[in-house]
Amino acid sequence: MPEGPLGFTRLTASKPTIAAISGWCLAGGLELALWCDLRIATADAKLGFPERRWGVPLIDGGTQRLPRIIGMGRALDMILSGRIVSSEEACDMGLVTEVVPDGRHLERALEYAEGLAAFPQETMLADRRAAIEGFGLPLEEGLKLEAESALPTREVAWRGAARFAGGEGRGGKGAGV
Q: Where are the domains of the chain?
A: 18-116, 119-168
Burial readout 95-125 (b: 16 or more C-beta within 10 A, e: otherwise): bbbbbbeeebbeebbeebbeebeeeeebbbb
Nearest to 47 by CA among 105, 88, 4, 100: 88
> What's the mean per-residue pLDDT of the chain?
93
Residue 51 is among the residues annotated as catalytic for this protein: yes
Pair type for strands 38-42 and 98-100: parallel
**How sure is the predictor about 111, in pLDDT bands with cuts at 50, 70 and 90?**
very high
pLDDT at site 27: 95
Are the C-beta atoms of residues 87 and 40 closer than 8 Å to each other?
no
CA pair distance 133, 22, nearest whole angstrom: 30
Query: Best-predicted range by mean pLDDT among 1-5, 95-99, 153-157, 168-172?
Result: 95-99
Rounded to two decimals, the pTM is 0.88
Among candidate residues 3, 31, 89, 111, the one labeled active-site is 31
Architecture of domain 18-116: Alpha-Beta Complex (3.90)
What pLDDT, in 10s, does the model give residues 10-66?
888 999 999 999 999 999 999 999 999 999 999 999 999 999 999 999 989 999 999
